[in-house]
Structure 1
């Protein structure tokens, strides 16, 4: 019985989502799609409840579809803690975002197509979550990549949107090279089936592990491949919400959580994850302080939180990374939907310096974005607190050096600062421009309220469930309160900075400010190097080869080889200009001499 119910639930869930997505007619009611997604979410809670009670793992496989000499490729779904925890979250958030999209994109002539794209995005993510072999995981991996390309470049008449979509697909392709390399390695030396992979006790080679980390770096926008995530804000706000919360960017961290048993004994791979995650979380938080676009600030906060998850993987705590991923999905989707509500009601204004006084005209959205910001900061008894505080306590009690801990605590301080900065600039004070303000409507409030409840209660529910298996850590009270004290310090610093800078005259930007504002000039570097290479190759091919080599060895070379032969056979030197000049001068002289005086 324990096997039949989850099997039927998963099969019905996938069939329902697939049929809703692919068989939708152009004139079908969008509310039917929303309701079917809600039904899928309710159904996905059934196997989760069974899993929590029994803590078992179920695998469903088809007969081999492709027979090979070393391995057979089949469709195989796994239902374990990771997949069954995150599937309802992805469905719930997509349901809320699609309901919000019906209001936000109501004037778009291709709304049905847009919703279809969001559904396909969800299906690709569900394939990644439930995949039991590397081949199937790669299908979902490429699926979320191509859907992100289509959705980021949705407004394709804008050159910035096209550039951002291309940037996203190219950066992810760099990471995909790592995943392809790992898959090829596992095909030749081990097994593509994830369960078979875990049964092998020997330490796996560092090469496929580097490939996995590279894949996660590209997809989850870790430092080095980070510029595409803020650039992806050129897409519609519902796309940003879905991209940053429960699909796409979390796929990289989810890959490392799923394949963590093959990485945990390799200290080099663990160290790379720890340092990469700590560096990313601090750098992204520092960059968020310098931005003025509300969506870019939230995007960089996503990169910062993903760095925190990567740090936990490097600390050998994948379940803590999953816990933070689960809580983060709710409040990050909520932050984007609230910012989308602001942008829509301010007639597409995204600069926080031009906002202000929105608490009067949009009270509900004001309350929800405040709750979301406090959740991001890690305020007690909101969902972010349960994961973020546990992560910092685990770092404090770990045997690693204090470098990663220091970076994480600094990022925590900065995250409180940029969250307060959004609240201060958008909600408080007075309107800073003469824009036409619109009152908030009822339609977007439902999904926003739903996500707010998720942001408040997810941590508590997880704490009360059997998923909570973290050890109780004993430590001195000041160290226990360190994360909270640093958060409060960040809030106070943000308030002080706003008070200090409110009446100061405009100053020239400083180099340090530019450094973080331009994301460490990675955009410039990543675009300059290919352009210089292209220019050099163009010059080599056109000027060096065509104008010099081909000319010298072609027409000129041929004439140079025939000139000695011509000189040996005739007295003519082929100096036509000289001959004509001499002839003309001689003729003129003769004429002058023969003219009678």
Structure 2
């Protein structure tokens, strides 16, 4: 009976989600309010299977339709396990809050119903990816998330920057998709199966398909090297940024590696790759966040930094801890984006934090929640981020790893506190730096209620995780007190140093930008090199070296010029023969005749 209730409630949740999209195929697009209400109902219903799982640990795999039969069967399979059962209510709750916020934020948009439907499709493709039990179904969700991100990032398609950013997201993700497609091909040829359970039974996978999966995660989760699309994606509407950074697009890559961790955990090279990649990403993104002035880009780089921390956790052989950090991170990151959207909207589309200040006077609820989100991001005790971030640092301290990864991660933890304080300092403290009569006040519950709901999740989610999903009997501590407090000490040091620097900025001092600051402001010139310098060099190589040399050498020098030169040489020689002397003509005639006779006799 419990199994039937668990399975039927999960399938009913998925059905409620898909009904608005199915309805739009037959009639006009459902209203935005109805789509939001359907998401809310799906969230309420998803709490039932989550409760059953917490109490009984029940898991199920179902097969519905066989799509095609090749050397192996490909079916429509759903896998309801720890990850899918716990991720679904979190994603639905956050999407419900974002849709509710979008009804206010995008109220003036003429295509609001279509926008909310796109948000729902974005969620559905992520749910397909999370609940997939075979690789083809997972790949459909994977590509669906990419397509929907392209449509939503480029929603304001009249802006050239939005189109460029959407295209950039697709191209970078396509580079990562190459790795996933190659891994799919290897699994089909070598293991002759795409079913999850059969793939996990082969724990001795070689390094090449695992590197393909890591490359796929690099593209989707914006790890270092394939990261530029994530800050560029801020050209989309703020609700898109909130959904993309919290529970859909960017966590898909980490979720893929969590799913395949049974194959990765036995391969030291794959684990080391995840560890080093995560350490570099989290530190580089934190450094870039410290020098940005766009409020949304600061939060975007903080997402990239936290994704690097999740990747590093996978390198530590702790997939469950990475998954828990996905859940806790989703609440306060979505809240931070919604708060930034409210601030931008109230200041008439101003995103430069240097032109803000004193916003807490006009937006008290928004700024209070933003401070709460920054504290959770920093890892303040007893907020959501503390329970997972502190555990990740402890796992690093007690593992046998190189000191380089540990030091860079601790540095990124300190920088997280620094840029969070910088964001609060510039946006909310001191006197206003915007023109008079610019700001608008909080208008009502449609603006603040979604933020308050997410703030509640950011406060209690860590406590719920520790009481419901972790063992009730605590383990005996075997680490030193300093190691146990390393994360808090590092965050505190970063906070104090940033506060000291912030106080210095209250005095009028001519700014002195160092080379390091300039480099980090320009993202280490990564975009300039990849998007401008290399294409320009390739264009110059193609136009000057290839095309011009080809044209000049083959089409001109070997062809017309050679014929012209030979023709002129022959003409000159023959013109010298024509002297007008009868003796010369008779001599040539005689020699030609004798030559013809000699040839004819032979």
**TM-score (structure 1 length as normaliser):** 0.92
Contact kept in structure 1, 2:291 and 2:517, CA below 8 Å: yes
Tell me, yes or no, if structure 1 residue 456 matches structure 2 residue 459: yes
Contact kept in structure 2, 1:26 and 1:112, CA below 8 Å: no
Counterpart residue number, 2:523: 519
Counterpart residue number, 1:337: 338
Deviation track 1:19-46 (CA, whole Å, cap 9, x = no partner) reads: 2134245574322111110010111112
Q: Secondary structure at the match of 1:75?
A: strand
Tell me, yes or no, if structure 1 residue 492 matches structure 2 residue 493: no
Q: How far 1:467 moved relative to its partner?
A: 4.3
Q: Greater shift after overlay, 41-50 or 538-547?
A: 538-547
Q: Greater shift after overlay, 391-400 or 314-323?
A: 391-400
Residue of structure 1 aligned with 2:43, choices 41, 44, 52: 41
Q: Distance in 1 between matches of 2:134 and 2:376?
A: 35
Q: Secondary structure at the match of 1:332?
A: helix
Counterpart residue number, 2:70: 68
Tell me, yes or no, if structure 1 residue 189 matches structure 2 residue 190: yes
Q: Distance in 2 between matches of 1:572 and 1:3?
A: 108
Q: How far 1:175 moved relative to its partner?
A: 0.7
Q: Distance in 1 between matches of 2:501 and 2:34?
A: 49
Where do 1:321-360 residues align within 5 Å?
321-360=322-361
Counterpart residue number, 1:552: 557
Cα pair distance change 1:314/1:448, threshold 3 Å: same
Supply the RMSD in Å over aligned alpha carbons.
2.0
Counterpart residue number, 1:5: 5
Q: Distance in 1 between matches of 2:368 and 2:393?
A: 27
Q: How far 1:302 moved relative to its partner?
A: 0.4
Q: How far 1:476 moved relative to its partner?
A: 2.7
Unaligned 5+ residue runs, structure 2? 579-602
Tell me, yes or no, if structure 1 residue 85 matches structure 2 residue 90: no
Q: Secondary structure at the match of 2:66?
A: coil
Q: Distance in 1 between matches of 2:471 and 2:103?
A: 37
Residue of structure 2 aligned with 1:531, choices 530, 536, 543: 536
Q: Secondary structure at the match of 1:64?
A: strand
Counterpart residue number, 2:215: 214
Q: Secondary structure at the match of 1:74?
A: strand
Contact kept in structure 2, 1:177 and 1:211, CA below 8 Å: yes
Q: How far 1:508 moved relative to its partner?
A: 4.3
Q: Greater shift after overlay, 142-151 or 527-536?
A: 527-536
Counterpart residue number, 2:308: 307
Q: How far 1:64 moved relative to its partner?
A: 2.3
Tell me, yes or no, if structure 1 residue 56 matches structure 2 residue 61: no
Contact kept in structure 1, 2:376 and 2:383, CA below 8 Å: yes
Q: Distance in 2 between matches of 1:504 and 1:270?
A: 49
Counterpart residue number, 1:23: 23
Contact kept in structure 1, 2:23 and 2:30, CA below 8 Å: no
Q: Distance in 2 between matches of 1:563 and 1:486?
A: 83
Q: How far 1:204 moved relative to its partner?
A: 0.8
**TM-score (structure 2 length as normaliser):** 0.91
Q: How far 1:316 moved relative to its partner?
A: 0.2
Q: Greater shift after overlay, 300-309 or 12-21?
A: 12-21
Contact kept in structure 1, 2:35 and 2:117, CA below 8 Å: no
Contact kept in structure 1, 2:254 and 2:311, CA below 8 Å: yes
Unaligned 5+ residue runs, structure 1? 574-597
Q: How far 1:224 moved relative to its partner?
A: 1.1
Q: Distance in 2 between matches of 1:271 and 1:185?
A: 22
Deviation track 1:445-465 (CA, whole Å, cap 9, x = no partner) reads: 111111011100111111110
Counterpart residue number, 1:592: none
Q: Secondary structure at the match of 1:77?
A: strand
Tell me, yes or no, if structure 1 residue 275 matches structure 2 residue 271: no
Q: Distance in 2 between matches of 1:228 and 1:20?
A: 30
Q: Distance in 1 between matches of 2:320 and 2:487?
A: 20
Counterpart residue number, 2:286: 285
Task: Give the length in aligned residue pairs.
Answer: 571
Deviation track 1:215-254 (CA, whole Å, cap 9, x = no partner) reads: 1111111111111111111111111101100011000100
